[in-house]
Amino acid sequence: MAAPNEMTVPQLLRLIGTPDAPVIIDISIDPDHAEDPFLIPGSVRYPHTDLAGLKAHLAGRPCVIVCQRGLKLSQGLAARLRADGLRAEYLSGGMYGWRDHAETLRIPAAALPEKVDGATLWVTRHRPKIDRIACPWLIRRFIDPQARFLFVSPAEVSGVAERFGATPFDVEGVTFSHRGAKCTFDALLDDFCLHSDALNRLATVIRAADTNRHEDAPQAAGLLALSVGLSRQYRDDHAQLEAGMALYDALYRWARDGSDEGHDWPADRAI
């Protein structure tokens, strides 16, 4: 029988990529992390000794604590947080259990950009449409939930990136941009090792909409229409991004759980 403060790998796997995902805190000690330098998507490394700092970081949000094997470090810290009234669970099996599960994704720690004031900082062209909303969604849901985004005029992206330590994306001549027939969303999937059936299915739709190849995915025209509509509805790029997060949350759930579902009339007609 599972412990009341235990989360299994399949349970966490279902939550990652959704708005309901807990804060994932990796407290693996440095030698253990160096031995296997990968991260659970969306997780942040934090020393288990800094309880006050961790509680401030959590700010009351539910969390899952992860260590190498899911034993004394994660169980002890989760229990300590729960004793202080926080919603904390530990990951059963720890990083080893996550690594050995057939369907999990693991991000190479070396792929993460340097953080600026505690979070990754990204910069791209203003007035986003498709890729420049899809990529921030992917980053916040799978790479860094605290990531911040700067939207500036196209000519200033490079200078802003250099001056403020931001990572540029979806502009020519940078690491995270279009590569041949693929778009920036694909580049992020490649470099952060985030290929899954659901994300690959979503990438096909995004690529088709972003590169005007609607024949590659019937959903592309709808995504383009919604993206253009959002860009007309919001003058502020950050307000548009927040609205776009909900759009891509829904698209991800379609790609993960509902891509084989249809709709017809009468309602009881077999699909």
Q: How far is CA 80 from CA 6, 26, 92, in A?
A: 14, 16, 17
Confidence of residue 2 (pLDDT cuts 50, 70, 90): low
196 found inside a domain: yes
- pTM given for the model: 0.96
End position of a domain, from candidates 70, 85, 109? 109
Q: State yes or no: pLDDT of 25 exceeds 70.
A: yes
End position of a domain, from candidates 88, 109, 130? 109
* Average pLDDT, integer, range 60-82: 97
263 found inside a domain: no
Query: Would you state the pLDDT for residue 124?
Result: 98
Angle (nearest 5°) at CA 185 between 159 and 187:
75
265 found inside a domain: no
Both 124 and 254 in a single domain? yes
267 found inside a domain: no
Q: State yes or no: pLDDT of 218 exceeds 80.
A: yes
Query: Would you state the pLDDT for residue 168?
Result: 98
Q: Which domain holds residue 18?
A: 6-109
- Are 66 and 90 in contact, with CB atoms under 8 Å apart? yes
Share of the chain above pLDDT 70, in %: 98
Spatial distance between the Cα atoms of 259 and 134, rounded to a whole number of angstroms: 18
* Count of the separate structural domains present in the chain: 2
Place of tokens 């994704």: 105
Query: Would you state the pLDDT for residue 257?
Result: 97
* Average pLDDT, integer, range 77-106: 97
* Average pLDDT, integer, range 219-238: 98
Spatial distance between the Cα atoms of 203 and 185, rounded to a whole number of angstroms: 7
Both 144 and 76 in a single domain? no
Both 145 and 12 in a single domain? no
Both 232 and 137 in a single domain? yes
| 101: three-class secondary structure by DSSP | coil
End position of a domain, from candidates 93, 109, 125? 109
Which sign, positive or negative, has the C-alpha torsion 241, 243, 244, 250?
Answer: positive
Q: State yes or no: pLDDT of 87 exceeds 90.
A: yes
The whole-chain average pLDDT of the chain stands at 96
Both 177 and 230 in a single domain? yes
Both 100 and 179 in a single domain? no
Both 147 and 250 in a single domain? yes
40 found inside a domain: yes
Both 133 and 204 in a single domain? yes
270 found inside a domain: no
| Among 15, 38, 28, 23, residue whose Cα is nearest residue 193 | 38
29 found inside a domain: yes
Query: Would you state the pLDDT for residue 208?
Result: 98
Query: Would you state the pLDDT for residue 1?
Result: 54
Both 68 and 51 in a single domain? yes
Both 201 and 180 in a single domain? yes
Query: Would you state the pLDDT for residue 258?
Result: 96
105 found inside a domain: yes
User: What is the enclosing helix (H) or strand (E) of 182?
Assistant: none
Q: Which residues pair with 91 in a beta bridge?
A: 7
Both 97 and 23 in a single domain? yes
Read off the pLDDT of residues 150-200 as tens digits, 9 standing for 90 and up. 999 999 999 999 999 999 999 999 999 999 999 999 999 999 999 999 999
* Average pLDDT, integer, range 88-108: 98
Query: Would you state the pLDDT for residue 42?
Result: 98
- CATH label of the domain that carries residue 57: 3.40.250.10
Spatial distance between the Cα atoms of 58 and 41, rounded to a whole number of angstroms: 17
Both 95 and 181 in a single domain? no
Place of tokens 């080893």: 96
| Among 124, 134, 138, 137, residue whose Cα is nearest residue 206 | 134
* Average pLDDT, integer, range 85-100: 98
User: What is the enclosing helix (H) or strand (E) of 23?
Assistant: strand 23-26
